[in-house]
Amino acid sequence: RNAPLDAEQVERLGLPARLVRTALVEGAQSPSPTMNVATAELMHGLNSLAAAHPVERGSGPGRAIRLDCPESRADGDAAFTIRTVDGDIRIGGNSDLACLYGAYALLRELSLGTDPDTLDIDSAPAMPLRLLNHWDNPDGHVERGYAGRSIFDWWHLPERLDQRMIDYARANASVGINGAVVNNVNARAFMLEPRYIEKLARLADAWRPYGIRVYLSARFSAPTEIDGGDIGRLETADPLDPQVRAWWQAKADEIYAAIPDFGGFLVKANSEGQPGPQDYGRTHADGANMLAQAIGDRGTVIWRAFVYSAQDETDRAKQAYEEFVPLDGAFADNVIVQVKNGAIDFQPREPFHPMFGAMPQTRLMLEVQITKEYLGFASHLAFLAPMWREVLDADTGRGGSVAEVVAPAGMAGVANTGSDRNWSGSDFDQANWYAFGRLAWDPALSSDTIAREWLAQTFNREEAFLAQTAPMMLSSRETVARYMTPLGLAHLMATGHHYGPAPWVCDLDRPEWNPCYYHRADSDGIGFDRTATGSNALGQYAPAIADTWSDPATMDEHYLLWFHHLDWDYRTQSGLPLWDELVQRYDQGVTEVDTMVHTWDDLSAYVDPERHRAVAENLRIQQREANWWRDASIAYWQSLNGLPLPQGARAPS
Ligand code: GCU
């Protein structure tokens, strides 16, 4: 629900307006469900923006808002236009889904205060797939979820459809998201059983008018764990075994019989203990192509590249590239390989994954994490658009940016939704869901634009408010990176849950689960040597890009200790010794959180008391914990290097 426009804006809007829909296409019996949704959303949204001026349907006086789209299936061309001609606002496009997206875009523009007489918008999604990945388990627990329980009520489906499922579809469609993988990548095989397909079909029916397709995470060993119709249960899940292929073919047919527009399977294979084709001496391509054949041209197999094994102790960051790049060209046309933004795991900052650009014959999709597993869960404020932009904008050195590389496939965001009243665990975390959809639609949008859009629609559209809060959002992720993992450090979070600092942990069985594996600090220095003298992960990047990171004296210091192991007294680009520079960055991060707390405290006039207080309370948690991160990290480094706090450093809290 949007805050009402002021009197002058309502006047300009020319309400009461008339909502006019194009006539039905020839032969159609009734308006399509998608057009009905578009109409209902416009009525609802305009009435909310101009509370005392109801919008009417059909002819009469006042401005007309025309929806000029053929009433087709909801999976058509999503591109839309919005123009004001002779006072009338016309939303046009080649499918009813285009009109739905246009309706949401019109509401967004009006709620930002755009003059309705100047509307002249052409918009089309940059990528075909804009998907949420839910790490939701069927028992209601969400892996890495910080917003309560799962929103999917499998227990009561298919009979009972929670209204939340409709609101979820509306929220997604309003930002351009067009698909959802509803279960965790660490998948349970029974989600493929008929009883779950029936539940999934109910969701698919409910979401279809909103242009949202359902996908399932598929457990690779499912043929050995559950019956496959007439075929029953098998002894093997070997992708080259004819019986296994028949099992998956039958399973795919069964799903498509219930859900004709089923999106496809997402697969995590041979990673973190999950089963996969390598269990049978086969490759990722063998596994993916077997599923791709079962699905055929009805959908997509999305195969994750997040793989690492306990055996390789040299550098976890290199494994995905080593396993996948030799398979370039071997994947079927309806396979997409989904690659995390960086080569480790959703850290506050990572250089872009070296696979981007390195597999020109394979469609690659970008996976980012909306839920903030390594950025302070839902209690720390970190607006992630700048982080995602950093990846999207990165030049791969192999003929395009990451955004260009993934454009033929899409973007996946690990969802941050849950049963909390605010959906996302905190009010500001809604902005990350919003930003994900907006960037997947248009990766050229600036973080500032997205922050302002969200703030204006969520809290208040007054410039005095936006001028304070947008900059706070824009710098928030950098602030978190400073007090948690400055200068390119990574994975120093407490093990298991990943909340709070634990750089000292070094006794876990799997070497790459220990924070000490990543910082490699001792009495002499700190950092992971990924140059030719070390793991040479740097060598996986295009030479032109590797060059920019090879010299600590000239490189972007945000990645300094990611690529280099340096002495504590190494002179950084500021002229300060590394130790002093590191402490200074921790201090800066803490000071910036202090500023965020004060900025927000001063904005109570612009936000309702309930949400103002909720945000303020979270910021106080963040303030305490930024100090915790800074103090604990510095104390630990001092236990190794024996150095005093540099002059002028903050005192421990
Ligand atoms: C991280 C996360 C796991 C998750 C995994 C994945 O390691 O901690 O919970 O399963 O990523 O992306 O598969």
Residue 368 has pLDDT above 70, yes or no: yes
Cα→Cα distances 549→134, 526, 543, 627, Å: 34, 17, 10, 30
Q: Residue 372 Cα, ligand 1 centroid: separation in angstroms?
A: 12
Residue with tokens 């073919």: 249
What are the E-state strand segments in 258-409? 264-267, 300-304, 335-340, 363-369
Answer yes or no: is the C-beta of 144 below 6 A from any ligand 1 atom: yes
- Tally the residues of the chain: 653
Task: Compare 87 and 415 and report the one with higher pLDDT.
Answer: 415
Answer yes or no: is the C-beta of 41 below 6 A from any ligand 1 atom: no
CB 483 within 8 A of CB 650: no
| Single-letter code of the amino acid located at 165 | M
Q: Residue 306 Cα, ligand 1 centroid: separation in angstroms?
A: 8
Mean pLDDT of the 272-278 span: 96
Distance, in Å, from the CA atom of 446 to the CA atom of 507, rounded to the nearest integer, reads: 43
Answer yes or no: is the C-beta of 185 below 6 A from any ligand 1 atom: yes
pLDDT confidence band for 349 (50 / 70 / 90): very high
Catalytic annotation present for 272: yes
CB 246 within 8 A of CB 255: no
CB 96 within 8 A of CB 74: yes
Q: Whose CA is nearest to atom 12 of ligand 1?
A: 306
Distance, in Å, from the CA atom of 123 to the CA atom of 592, rounded to the nearest integer, reads: 37
Q: With 0-12 CB in 10 A as exposed, 13-18 as middle and 19+ as buried, what is 124?
A: middle
3 state SS of 37: helix
> Would you state the pLDDT for residue 70?
78
pLDDT confidence band for 245 (50 / 70 / 90): very high
pTM over 0.90: yes
3 state SS of 260: coil
Percent of the chain with pLDDT over 70: 96
Q: For residue 4, which of 41, 52, 62, 55 has the smallest C-alpha distance?
A: 52
Mean pLDDT of the 563-585 span: 98
45-96 pLDDT, tens per residue?
A: 988 888 767 777 776 777 889 898 876 654 568 999 999 999 899 999 999 9
Answer yes or no: is the C-beta of 495 below 6 A from any ligand 1 atom: no
Answer yes or no: is the C-beta of 143 below 6 A from any ligand 1 atom: yes
Q: Find all residues with CB under 8 Å of 608, minimum gap 6, and list them.
A: none
* DSSP letter (8 states) at residue 227: -
Distance, in Å, from the CA atom of 449 to the CA atom of 435, rounded to the nearest integer, reads: 10
Distance, in Å, from the CA atom of 444 to the CA atom of 26, rounded to the nearest integer, reads: 38
> Would you state the pLDDT for residue 384?
99
Q: Residue 271 Cα, ligand 1 centroid: separation in angstroms?
A: 9
Q: Residue 468 Cα, ligand 1 centroid: separation in angstroms?
A: 35
Atom of ligand 1 lying closest to residue 143 CA = 9
Residue 450 has pLDDT above 60, yes or no: yes
Atom of ligand 1 lying closest to residue 268 CA = 13
Residue 424 has pLDDT above 60, yes or no: yes
User: What is the token pair recorded at 242?
Assistant: 């004819």
pLDDT confidence band for 550 (50 / 70 / 90): very high
Atom of ligand 1 lying closest to residue 271 CA = 13
Atom of ligand 1 lying closest to residue 185 CA = 13
> Would you state the pLDDT for residue 75?
54
Mean pLDDT of the 451-471 span: 97
Atom of ligand 1 lying closest to residue 186 CA = 10
pLDDT confidence band for 616 (50 / 70 / 90): very high
Answer yes or no: is the C-beta of 306 below 6 A from any ligand 1 atom: yes
146-173 pLDDT, tens per residue?
A: 999 999 999 999 999 999 999 999 999 9
* DSSP letter (8 states) at residue 95: S
Residue 302 has pLDDT above 70, yes or no: yes
305-328 pLDDT, tens per residue?
A: 999 876 666 899 999 999 999 999
> Would you state the pLDDT for residue 73?
53
Residue 299 has pLDDT above 80, yes or no: yes
**Ligand 1 binding pocket mutation candidate from 274, 345, 346, 366 (most atoms within 8 A of CB):** 345
Asked if omega into 16 is within 30° of 0 (cis), the reply is yes
> Would you state the pLDDT for residue 29?
62
User: What is the token pair recorded at 260?
Assistant: 């004709």
* Mean of all residue pLDDT scores within the chain: 94
**Ligand 1 binding pocket mutation candidate from 141, 270, 272 (most atoms within 8 A of CB):** 272
Q: Whose CA is nearest to atom 10 of ligand 1?
A: 186
1-38 pLDDT, tens per residue?
A: 567 888 888 888 877 677 776 655 555 567 789 999 99
Q: What domains are there in the chain, each with its CATH number?
A: 7-123 (3.30.379.10), 129-458 (3.20.20.80), 482-641 (3.90.1330.10)
Mean pLDDT of the 422-445 span: 98
CB 96 within 8 A of CB 35: yes
Distance, in Å, from the CA atom of 217 to the CA atom of 271, rounded to the nearest integer, reads: 14
Q: Residue 163 Cα, ligand 1 centroid: separation in angstroms?
A: 30
Q: What is the DSSP string of 571-632?
A: B-TTSSBHHHHHHHHHHHHHHHHHHHHHHHHTTGGGS-HHHHHHHHHHHHHHHHHHHHHHHH
192-222 pLDDT, tens per residue?
A: 999 999 999 999 999 999 999 999 999 999 9
Phi/psi class of residue 201: alpha, beta or left (left: φ > 0; alpha: ψ in -120 to 50)? alpha
Task: Compare 10 and 395 and report the one with higher pLDDT.
Answer: 395
User: What is the token pair recorded at 612?
Assistant: 């103002």
Answer yes or no: is the C-beta of 13 below 6 A from any ligand 1 atom: no
Phi/psi class of residue 267: alpha, beta or left (left: φ > 0; alpha: ψ in -120 to 50)? beta
**Ligand 1 binding pocket mutation candidate from 135, 271, 344, 365 (most atoms within 8 A of CB):** 135
Atom of ligand 1 lying closest to residue 184 CA = 10
Angle at alpha carbon of residue 424, lines to 423 and 425, rounded to 5°: 110
Pick the catalytic residue: 238, 350, 373, 453? 373
606-615 pLDDT, tens per residue?
A: 999 999 999 9
Residue with tokens 């797939």: 129
Q: For residue 222, which of 199, 251, 180, 195 has the smallest C-alpha distance?
A: 251
Distance, in Å, from the CA atom of 308 to the CA atom of 285, rounded to the nearest integer, reads: 17
Residue 436 has pLDDT above 60, yes or no: yes
Q: Residue 310 Cα, ligand 1 centroid: separation in angstroms?
A: 15
Distance, in Å, from the CA atom of 431 to the CA atom of 447, rounded to the nearest integer, reads: 11
Burial code of 452-490, b = ≥16 C-beta within 10 A, e = fewer? bbbbbbbbbbeeebbeebbebbbbbbbbbbbbbbbbbbb
Asked if omega into 128 is within 30° of 0 (cis), the reply is no
3 state SS of 567: strand
Pick the catalytic residue: 11, 115, 117, 272? 272
Answer yes or no: is the C-beta of 374 below 6 A from any ligand 1 atom: no
Catalytic annotation present for 367: no
Q: Residue 152 Cα, ligand 1 centroid: separation in angstroms?
A: 20
Residue with tokens 């109801």: 54
Answer yes or no: is the C-beta of 186 below 6 A from any ligand 1 atom: yes
Mean pLDDT of the 635-652 span: 97
Mean pLDDT of the 128-135 span: 98
Mean pLDDT of the 482-504 span: 98
pLDDT confidence band for 230 (50 / 70 / 90): confident
Cα→Cα distances 624→290, 554, 621, 645, Å: 51, 35, 5, 20
Q: Whose CA is nearest to atom 1 of ligand 1?
A: 345
Residue 630 has pLDDT above 90, yes or no: yes
Distance, in Å, from the CA atom of 81 to the CA atom of 344, rounded to the nearest integer, reads: 40
Q: For residue 221, which of 275, 140, 151 has the smallest C-alpha distance?
A: 275
Pick the catalytic residue: 109, 286, 315, 345? 345
Q: Residue 222 Cα, ligand 1 centroid: separation in angstroms?
A: 20
Q: Whose CA is nearest to atom 7 of ligand 1?
A: 345
Q: Residue 336 Cα, ligand 1 centroid: separation in angstroms?
A: 19
Distance, in Å, from the CA atom of 310 to the CA atom of 318, rounded to the nearest integer, reads: 13
Q: Residue 181 Cα, ligand 1 centroid: separation in angstroms?
A: 15
> Would you state the pLDDT for residue 9?
84
